[in-house]
Amino acid sequence: MLPTPVPDASATHQVRGACPHDCPDTCALLTTVENGRAVRVQGNPAHAQTGGVLCAKVSKYAERTHHAERILTPLKRTGPKGSGQFTPVSWDEALGDIAARLAHIAARDPQAIQPYSYAGTMGLVQGESMDRRFFHRLGASLLARTICATAGGEGLVHTLGAKVGMKVEFFAEAQLILIWGSNSIGSNLHFWRIAQQAKRDGARLVCIDPRKSETAEKCHEHLQLRPGTDAALALALMHELIVHDWLDHDYLARHTLGWEPLRERALQWPPERAAEVCGLPVEQIRRLAHDYGTTRPAAIRLNYGVQRTHGGANAVRAIASLPALTGAWRHRAGGVLLSSSGSFPVDRAALQRPDLLAGRSPRTINMVTIGDDLLRDASPSFGPKIEALVVYNSNPVAVAPDSRQVVRGFAREDLFTVVLEHFQTDTADYADYILPATTQLEHWDVHLAYGHTDVLLNRPAIAPQGQARSNAQIFRDLAARMGFTEPCFADSDEALCRQAYGDRVDFDLLLEQGFAPLSVPDAPFADGGFPTPSGQCEFYSQRLADQGLDPLPGYVPNHEGAGTSADYPLAMISPPARNFLNSTFVNLQSLRDIEGRPLLEIHPEDAAARGIADGALVRVFNDRGSYACHAALNGRARPGVVNGLGVWWRKLGHNGTNVNELTSQALTDLGAGPTFYDCRVQVEPLAS
Ligand SMILES: Nc1nc2c(c(=O)[nH]1)N[C@H]1C(S)=C(S)[C@@H](COP(=O)(O)OP(=O)(O)OC[C@H]3O[C@@H](n4cnc5c(=O)[nH]c(N)nc54)[C@H](O)[C@@H]3O)O[C@H]1N2
Ligand SMILES: Nc1nc2c(c(=O)[nH]1)N[C@H]1C(S)=C(S)[C@@H](COP(=O)(O)OP(=O)(O)OC[C@H]3O[C@@H](n4cnc5c(=O)[nH]c(N)nc54)[C@H](O)[C@@H]3O)O[C@H]1N2
Ligand code: SF4
Ligand SMILES: [Mo]
């Protein structure tokens, strides 16, 4: 058992922790505590990946934790759903009533109970341990946690074999870096620091992004392609590598599967064809191919922005194939990195205990389609109607696509909804009970990362605020109320921290310094050895062929492609605003002041054609809904594409809407992921 944190009430001291947010950087934190209060949160200089630096958002974490609007007691709804009217109740009353309601539903069919969670915290304890045990034991419906990364994840798994790739630190030694579908300055700041070092050492940086992001404007070159056309670009790069023979024939022969058919396909993609599809100058594609084919070492920082359209997984397959054509993997500063999360030896069975299902196999609901699914009646194919929803680590009313449907679902009077939260979010407004959860400064946790390969430990720096309890504690309490007596429901948060990696990670080292590097080879595929079924980099995937899918990476056009609708001629993407983290931090005045107001970036030509001036209030709309925000003619949008920066709280935006009024529940080619950036709209001025 770990030493219990007893913050010395009088003294000033520092506590080592980990940033809990859904961000590739997973920074090591140092929290300064004075008189039991967190007064400052800083980056731990001892942790190389963090380098003592945090982003602007988490630098405000003390402000967030001690925010006047923190939920500090259980709350019970008193007004109509969505009205946000609640009254404080005791834990005893809240837990007793919730357990009784869940037990009543479970007696008929536990699958009518739906957990809904994502990565509000990425902690393994507060995100995927006692909660899963609870729902497994109950036999509740399972949740496909698809809202972010499954398309790209599947793309990687079907090419490289797992969510693995280059070690991020070696990008510093690359001579060419493609920053592909990533606004690193906004969402992967610590990678950007490494890229800057490479730049100082002479590397060329190329950004591939439909938006002229903060990152794009600081790279040597920006390919401002249409959203969802990356696979076409990657295939054209392959075309040029082939016709100019910038290939590593030895690497192709020894470490790849399906080169012949891929070669044939790529030869159908001359740069002229891709230029047409991507909306890029053909010369720019030729030059990129030349640079990629002739520069050593060449590295690709691919990120999830590339996989939020219909063909997202195929785009990732195509891009992840490139380093095997040139043999870039031979060098530790060559290859591709989308995610490193597959490197972490997490013992998920120990944490989540799927054995508690005891032979039952409940249905799985896709979190992307929660809008439609909440409105579905019982049927043989769907199963029971969803009668209860338990939401934690997520704010679906703000972040899930097609909000109008999501709101209709959450507004159902016959739906019993429990929300574990720090704040009264858009989702919490629809709860029957809101339960106060601890923040990262108040609980134990242990972390993996998806942008580096160090395990981090989070110690609580301060006591739980008000009556807040950790997620794990809340599910432990609910389990007790439901009469679940298995010993695993007694495991403490500290015990769960240890179970996450068992003896695969040195826990004493974690206790001592707060982080522990995994031992991962510097150049993981220098000599092949991909974790695919064939051990090769699989251009051709037999597993995909067996499912009747295209076994080769291909260009899959957007659901809402160019010319599909005269009424909605503009493509819209909705990448994150830099000072918010998805919908987290939107309620922090200091950060909201930096972002100003909800924006739609639009190209001056598209604005002029509609009589829209910079700063004007506009209505953005399609058949799904209508969103009011301000036009920004700031040079970041390309013609034909508008950027609706996300993800504002609906109640803090204009007319109680946000950009997800417009996005659809359509899914990606693989991984059943969302297609937030595959969306067509029209824009018109709105009289204020
Ligand atoms: N500040 C901040 N940081 C964050 C987040 C945040 O909300 N705010 N969110 C976190 C989370 S959950 C995630 S998943 C990551 C997301 O971070 P990333 O993985 O980087 O993904 P996005 O921010 O969605 O998009 C990155 C870039 O891709 C561009 N893009 C959009 N469509 C396309 C396309 O079709 N092709 C190409 N090539 N580019 C495209 C966008 O314009 C954007 O500049 O960041 C994490 N970090
Ligand atoms: N239009 C559009 N929509 C998007 C995106 C986009 O780019 N454009 N990005 C998508 C992506 S990539 C993602 S990952 C999703 C993210 O969507 P979500 O996972 O819902 O992320 P957040 O909006 O950050 O909400 C997380 C919530 O968890 C709460 N929370 C944090 N820690 C804890 C804790 O310890 N306990 C409890 N109980 N609660 C906690 C926070 O207060 C916050 O309200 O959004 C998606 N939605
Ligand atoms: S950069 Fe990412 S990991 Fe680091 S503090 Fe900010 S949100 Fe957390
Ligand atoms: Mo995400």
Residues 6+ apart with CB under 8 A from 127: 117, 119, 120, 121, 393, 471
User: What's the helix, strand, coil split of the chain in %, to 5?
Assistant: 35, 20, 45
Residues 176 and 219 in one domain: yes
Residue 185 pLDDT exceeds 70: yes
* Distance of alpha carbon 283 from alpha carbon 554, whole angstroms: 22
- Of 538, 119, 159, give the one whose Cα is nearest residue 313: 159
Strands (E), 12-151: 12-18, 28-34, 37-43, 75-77, 86-88, 113-117, 142-144
Is the Cβ–Cβ distance between 631 and 681 less than 8 Å? Answer: no
Residues with CB under 6 A from ligand 2: 22, 118-121, 126, 147-148, 392-395, 399, 420-423, 425, 437, 471, 574-576, 581-584, 646-647, 659-660, 663, 676
For residue 189, the ligand 3 atom closest to its alpha carbon is 1
At 261 the pLDDT is 98
Tell me, yes or no, whether 113 lies in a domain.
Answer: yes
Average pLDDT taken over every residue of the chain: 96
Residues with CB under 5 Å of ion ligand 4 are 148
Tell me, yes or no, whether 523 lies in a domain.
Answer: no
Ligand with an atom nearest the CA of residue 314: 1
At 1 the pLDDT is 41
571's enclosing H/E stretch is: strand 570-573
For residue 54, the ligand 3 atom closest to its alpha carbon is 5
Tell me, yes or no, whether 512 lies in a domain.
Answer: yes
Which pLDDT band holds residue 161 (cuts at 50, 70, 90)? very high
Q: Residue 457 C-alpha to ligand 2 middle, in angstroms?
A: 21
Place of tokens 């609580």: 460
User: Stretch 123-144: mean pLDDT, rounded?
Assistant: 98
User: The CATH number of the domain where 55 resides is what?
Assistant: 2.20.25.90
At 10 the pLDDT is 61
Tell me, yes or no, whether 556 lies in a domain.
Answer: no
User: The CATH number of the domain where 619 resides is what?
Assistant: 2.40.40.20
Q: Report phi then psi at 75, rounded to 5.
A: -125, 140
At 16 the pLDDT is 97
Tell me, yes or no, whether 560 lies in a domain.
Answer: no
Residues 52 and 157 in one domain: no
User: Stretch 108-137: mean pLDDT, rounded?
Assistant: 98
Residues 6+ apart with CB under 8 A from 196: none
Tell me, yes or no, whether 6 lies in a domain.
Answer: no
Residues 121 and 267 in one domain: no
* Pairing label, strands 433-436, 445-447: unpaired
At 562 the pLDDT is 63
Is the Cβ–Cβ distance between 462 and 441 less than 8 Å? Answer: yes
Residues 6+ apart with CB under 8 A from 546: none
**Ligand 1 binding pocket includes 303 (Cβ within 6 Å):** yes
For residue 187, the ligand 1 atom closest to its alpha carbon is 3
Residues 368 and 500 in one domain: yes
Residues 358 and 477 in one domain: yes
Residue 233 CB-half CA count within 13 A: 32
At 2 the pLDDT is 47
Asked, as a colleague might, if the bond just before 297 is cis with ω within 30 of 0, I would say yes
Decide: residue 596, CB within 10 A, 0-12 exposed, 13-18 middle, 19+ buried: exposed
pTM of this structure: 0.97
Residue 231 pLDDT exceeds 90: yes
Residues 588 and 662 in one domain: yes
* Distance of alpha carbon 114 from alpha carbon 120, whole angstroms: 18
Residues 160 and 254 in one domain: yes
Place of tokens 């493509």: 571
At 79 the pLDDT is 96
User: The CATH number of the domain where 248 resides is what?
Assistant: 3.40.228.10
Is the Cβ–Cβ distance between 650 and 657 less than 8 Å? Answer: yes
Per cent of the chain over pLDDT 90 is: 97
Residue type, 687: A
Is the Cβ–Cβ distance between 72 and 467 less than 8 Å? Answer: yes
At 379 the pLDDT is 98
**Ligand 1 binding pocket includes 371 (Cβ within 6 Å):** no
Residues 378 and 513 in one domain: yes
The residue nearest atom 3 of ligand 3, judged by CA position, is 26
- Structural domain boundaries, residue 657: 570-685
Residue 145 CB-half CA count within 13 A: 14
* Distance of alpha carbon 148 from alpha carbon 117, whole angstroms: 12
User: The CATH number of the domain where 390 resides is what?
Assistant: 3.40.50.740
* Distance of alpha carbon 43 from alpha carbon 58, whole angstroms: 9
Helix (H), strand (E), coil (C) string for 362-390: CCEEEHHHHHHHHCCCCECCCECCCCEEE
Q: How many domains does the chain have?
A: 4
Q: Residue 463 C-alpha to ligand 3 middle, in angstroms?
A: 23
**Per-residue pLDDT tens digits for 530-569:** 999 999 999 999 999 999 999 999 999 999 986 556 789 9
Tell me, yes or no, whether 562 lies in a domain.
Answer: no
Residue 174 pLDDT exceeds 90: yes
Contacts 24+ apart (CB under 8 A), 528-531: 528/254, 528/255, 530/160, 530/161, 530/255, 531/160, 531/161, 531/162, 531/164, 531/342
Which pLDDT band holds residue 688 (cuts at 50, 70, 90)? low
User: Stretch 282-286: mean pLDDT, rounded?
Assistant: 98
What is the chain's Cα-based Rg?
A: 25
* Pairing label, strands 416-421, 433-436: parallel
Q: Residue 111 C-alpha to ligand 1 middle, in angstroms?
A: 34
**Bridge-partner residues for 392, per DSSP?**
117, 420
- Of 146, 138, 121, 234, give the one whose Cα is nearest residue 493: 121
* Distance of alpha carbon 186 from alpha carbon 192, whole angstroms: 9
* Pairing label, strands 454-458, 515-517: antiparallel
Residues 593 and 454 in one domain: no
The two tokens of residue 202 are 């002479």
Residues 337 and 206 in one domain: yes
